[in-house]
Structure 1
């Protein structure tokens, strides 16, 4: 099962029973304990009624195992838990299999909030200090990217409350990103974006002209950019975020070649070369070509 299918609660069957908000958090706790204890585990069986973890060295005869099952009351209980590892750990690789992206993100969020261009090598060092493990550059990159999205993109705030975090950032002449303002909102609507943009203009942007606003195609943002006088030319000019545009295009057309041609066309500065890239897309897939032509090229 994936993270969305984990049971809602786990209750231990011992006298020290405690509730865990969801099984994903249970696995996170096991991951942290086993990373620090130099142990690795894997999911051995996973259904909507049963969930079982075993030691990665089960083939050596290791008996470590944690099994949970759903009860008639639709609760989950840890029915068996063998706590002792009997395997020979040997020389564990630094890149511990249970040291996943979520654990890396938890380490990096604070540093990336202070410095958007926090180097990958420094990320690896930060994880090493916390977990005493050296993770691969690929895994570190994925954690860095996810932490950057959490800090600098409008995003869900996960936890007890169903709220949104709206964030505005700027970029200086050296290409360095820096935070401008943020707001915690009940939802991501035209009203909440309107209030945020009005306050941003009033207290941060003030009388500055010619501001370039780059965003995804969220309806709340687009409606306000179209209707708020102080966010229209010559005060401000709206452009679509190319990264979000490419992500939407990739969902519709799962072709690496098409995505590469689309990106090459979008970043092209010369009109003649832009049309050559678009013609390449048209010859390969006319439907994809027309999809791109529905987008305002001035954006």
Structure 2
């Protein structure tokens, strides 16, 4: 038995879930989801602030489905005024995408993911849409645009956030970080990464290492580029707000030719020998002069020019054995590289939101480490897990060594290592 027009409208309303909607956007979303769910397509006939009407895309084939909704003057709600249905069409063109699954609808469906993690990949967002709606939207035309719309909706519009002021640079650091650095090794690792949002530039990062050998984010900045002037400006603020009156600070940067990883790559580019490259890395990473000299001799036996090249580049700049202990065995900027992955999702956000997001992530960072520290204190631990592990490893190694005292008062003694070599 065929339904009457009233019954058909009531059935459609039940499918939508409501007859009255708070606004036009909410109503359009419901109609789109209905047509996607039923695998039907529609096209817009009218679209004004207070009117929206659509009809079946296959109306030329005889399908009479159409509807018209208007905004109520008193309540402001959007209600269905006219409806003809249901769809009687049959679309034989089966596709993975749906024409009514546009970027605006996708943005609404993925907002919860963007709010939780702005760096959510496009593939993950696409998977979310497929699981929810059963269609696979195109990346370039829909997913990417939808992601930008979702970011704008969750975090705000770029132009509204900066409020039309001329922006050049901004530096920020949080009090727990600057206070915590007083208890860290006097080493700061710096790095910079690209921004991918509407306004291009660079984000600069400064980090320390805490007593458990974990990164301690210290300061951030957004600048126009990686020029000498920008680095000088950033480091002057790091000095003023983080380092303050501390002396003997060591700075590690990818931009410094003394970083071991990059230095060894330069060495290998010149001599093209994997054995020499491995030995050169061991030279740079040894903290004992005796072992440094031993590996340098091995390099000299293989290629005297390679040894001479290393000596000419100043061992103080790239080796632990000759750095006076200032690097505290930190050889590369991997600390900043790791934190870059944490900040990856912030690099295409508005600047004010970027600052806000670093704040909330650091709140979580300190909260987790506070619980770890509190637990260690409750257990009566005097040292961090990293220090305890180092102590255990050294004790195990020292168990196979023996010593002979020559003058205990002057601290002169001899240690016989596992390999039978002696050091004084």
TM-score normalised by the chain length of structure 1: 0.46
TM-score normalised by the chain length of structure 2: 0.34
Larger relative contact order (CA 8 Å, sep ≥ 6): 2
